[in-house]
Chains A and B, each alone.
Chain A
Amino acid sequence: MLDYFLIQSANGIVIGVIYALIATGLTIIFALLKIVNFAHGELYMMGGYFGYYVITLAGVPPLPAVVAAMAISFAFAVAIERGLLTPLYSPGMERKSDYGILITFGLAVFLRNIAIIIFGPFPLRPPSFFDGDLVLGGLIISYDRLVAAGGGLLILVLLIFFLNRTVWGQALNAVSQSRESASIVGINSERMYMFAFGLGGALAGGAGALVAPIYSLSPSMGLVPDTQAFVIVILGGLGSVSGSIIAGILLGLSENLFIAFLPDPNRGPSYANAFGLFIMMLVLLFRPTGIFGRHHAAME
């Protein structure tokens, strides 16, 4: 029983780190562009496929392929931003959030269907990072999961360093606080929007490439993490990167423990999603500004 608890906790942390990666990207995009990216799960899905094809077509080893998938996802997201989102920045644009919802929702549907055509409807599984399992007493966990969690944490640490310590990260933060003040110091906000969307895409894409050997790839794989990411962003206190990371890991963990201890284990997984939403309702009931309650939509 204790072993089972350990294993489920470890799995929960792994998925939590992946959630955190997806959610921080969503948060950064929200903090800068002030839109909710409904195609975020699809960027995650695309990242998974980018990694898969970098491995199978270009013969790149699985670990560097994650980095390549992030770079391609970055470029892919920038192309989307340039092609579809620039109308958001024109001063005359009215009802920006409506535009944001419609365009990103449409994009999500488009990407899912185009993925079925290009990649096929059947699950694809790239080779493992490392074969085998780590056995530590009662704890058994596959190396692939360890790599996914470790790689994800590394990316998050680098991200936090970038946002807080480098002038580019600080400039992103500045634009999220005030576009006007940012242009007063000479920051070109529009370039920062482009960069933020690219960064969000790279984080989601990296998450997709990291989980690919564990869960396999399918065109609809973005649906569930997408809902979870929205829950996490809200729990983390809209716009807080560190809040999203903590909320992501907590949600992954509690979700897995919930599945583990549901009396009917076969039904557990299908309730997992509902569980996240249930937690969100509960938290918002008592703390309407999220766990890390904040009153502004700027980034931290």
Chain B
Amino acid sequence: MAAAHQSGAPSLSARDLVAGYLPGIEILHGVSVDVLPYEVRAVLGPNGTGKSTLLKVLYGFLKPGAGEIKSGSRVLTGAAPHEMGGYGIVYLPQRPSVFPFLSVEVNLRLGAWRLRSRHGLVREKIERAFAQFPALYEKRHQSAGTLSGGQQRQLEFARSLLLDPNVYLIDEPTASIEPRIATQIYELIQGLAQQGKAILLVDQNIKGALGIADYVYVMRTGSLYTEGKRAEFGEDVELLVSQWLYTHHAPKPS
């Protein structure tokens, strides 16, 4: 939590997003979120509420039927996913997006695809990534698919850092990952926020996400149920959130 650094202007903001996969079936019914530098913003909510869908829309995998996505004054609505890196946005989907049949090193090299003509720079950046993640260096010639779930996540982070992005969209980074590694991943995410990255973290691991969140969105069936600063929710926020999520008659906090 690094509230002192807050600059105030969102790195990415979305207004009233409406989206769905199939005609006539709306999944998001008008969701607005802001992602700010130096902040981890958590999106919590039960299964199937549209948390992953929200990230897919933000990253351009799914075109919103209505609403707007902006980065500063630039409108990103309708931009293709492969262009997002150019706007400094990175996406770590729910299922790790490493290339399982390519080596760890080649995975990193592809992370620097945007810089492909600058060989020296790419090599330097990869060396730096290996210095930061020694476990990956040891396995650099191994196929990424042979890595443990936690290491695949590390590889994704290492890969994303090559381009020094400002916005991270992260979907359940610790699902089915052992607790010790999960803690490391949350520390990594928190560290990114401290460096000034803007982070939107979708999670089912309420405890883990709330441990590092500065701001919380709670979603329920395609809409925001409530939102607010993490600190404003006080001590029992974890209990409170699980009540919002899992009790239908829970009073809405004022």
Contact between A296 and B97, CB atoms less than 8 A apart: no
Nearest B residue to A298 via CB reads: B101
User: Could you say which of A180, A181, A186 contacts B85, with CB atoms under 8 Å apart?
Assistant: A186
What separation, in Å, do the CA atoms of A300 and B97 have in the docked complex?
A: 18
Q: Which of B48-99 contact A (CB under 8 A)?
A: 59, 61, 80-86, 90-91, 93, 97-99
List the one stretch of B30-38, B110-118, B182-190 in contact with chain A. B110-118
| Chain A facing B: main interface SS | helix
Chain A residues within 8 Å of B116, by CB: 167
Chain B residues within 8 Å of A181, by CB: 97-99
Residue A216 CB within 8 A of the other chain: no
What separation, in Å, do the CA atoms of A300 and B82 have in the docked complex?
A: 23
Chain B residues within 8 Å of A86, by CB: none
User: Could you say which of B61, B90, B93, B99 contacts A174, with CB atoms under 8 Å apart?
Assistant: B99
Binary CB contact string for chain B from 223 to 252 against chain A (1 if under 8 A, 0 otherwise): 000000000000000000000000000000
Chain A residues within 8 Å of B114, by CB: 186
Residue B197 CB within 8 A of the other chain: no
What separation, in Å, do the CA atoms of A300 and B102 have in the docked complex?
A: 9
What separation, in Å, do the CA atoms of A180 and B80 have in the docked complex?
A: 11
Chain A residues within 8 Å of B97, by CB: 178, 180-181, 184
- How far does the Cβ of B9 sit from chain A's closest Cβ, in whole Å? 25
User: Could you say which of B82, B109, B159 contacts A170, with CB atoms under 8 Å apart?
Assistant: B109
Nearest B residue to A296 via CB reads: B101
Chain B residues within 8 Å of A173, by CB: 99, 101-102
What separation, in Å, do the CA atoms of A101 and B42 have in the docked complex?
A: 46
What separation, in Å, do the CA atoms of A180 and B99 have in the docked complex?
A: 10
What separation, in Å, do the CA atoms of A177 and B100 have in the docked complex?
A: 8
Query: A167 and B82 in contact (CB under 8 A), knowing A177-B99, A180-B61, A298-B101?
Result: no
User: Could you say which of B81, B100, B101, B102 contacts A184, with CB atoms under 8 Å apart?
Assistant: B81
Contact between B101 and A185, CB atoms less than 8 A apart: no
Residue B106 CB within 8 A of the other chain: yes
What separation, in Å, do the CA atoms of A177 and B91 have in the docked complex?
A: 18
Residue A189 CB within 8 A of the other chain: yes
- How far does the Cβ of B21 sit from chain A's closest Cβ, in whole Å? 9
Residue A160 CB within 8 A of the other chain: no
User: Could you say which of B81, B101, B109 contacts A183, with CB atoms under 8 Å apart?
Assistant: B81
Closest 4 CB pairs of A and B: A181-B97, A183-B81, A186-B85, A183-B82
A-B contact sample (18 more), CB < 8 A, given A173-B101, A174-B110: A167-B109, A170-B106, A174-B99, A177-B100, A178-B97, A180-B97, A183-B81, A183-B82, A184-B93, A184-B97, A185-B110, A185-B111, A185-B159, A186-B83, A186-B85, A186-B113, A186-B114, A187-B113
Show 12 residue pairs from A and B whose CB-CB distance is below 8 angstroms, ordered by the A residue: A167-B110, A167-B113, A167-B116, A177-B99, A177-B102, A180-B97, A181-B99, A182-B110, A183-B81, A185-B110, A185-B111, A187-B110
Chain A interface residues (CB < 8 Å from chain B): 167, 170-171, 173-174, 177-178, 180-189, 296, 298, 300
